Amino acid sequence: MSYNEDNNSGKILLAVLAGASAGIVAGLLMAPDKGSATRGNLKNYAGKYGDQLGDQLSKFGTQLDGTFKNLVEKLEDLGVSGTGSSLNLKGDWNTAKGKLKQQYAQLTDEDLTYAEGQGDELVGRLQEKLGKGKREIVKMLNDL
């Protein structure tokens, strides 16, 4: 997705919101219902459009996260940010553990304990056990 597509999406969303706002104002000025009925209708529409806006923002956030991760990987590939600066484990961890145990007999199951979000602890244990630097350990794990 290019910058122009993101920019156009933002313009479209802004135009839709502006159109909806203009419609609400026109509806208030020409409302045939009593004030309480009109307020009830407005509340229903606001809830509906609020949910749609929330869904769109969530989708945009997911796309932005994916784009950011791709850019970080490209920077690492180009050598700008340094390979192995971020841990990115892919695939089955049990298979990766088996490969590590084959390469490094001194590693135990306790050394290779990994839970989501605790990559720094794993890297620290492997640094101590293998005597390698953080960048080298992260690169080794990412390459598995």
Confidence (pTM): 0.41
Task: Confirm if 81 and 75 have CB atoms less than 8 A apart.
Answer: yes
CA distances from 16 to 9, 21, 22, 48, 102 (A): 11, 9, 10, 14, 58
The ranges of the chain with pLDDT < 70 are 1-7, 31, 33, 76-86
| pLDDT tens profile 126-135 | 888 888 888 8
- Give me the pLDDT at residue 76, please: 65
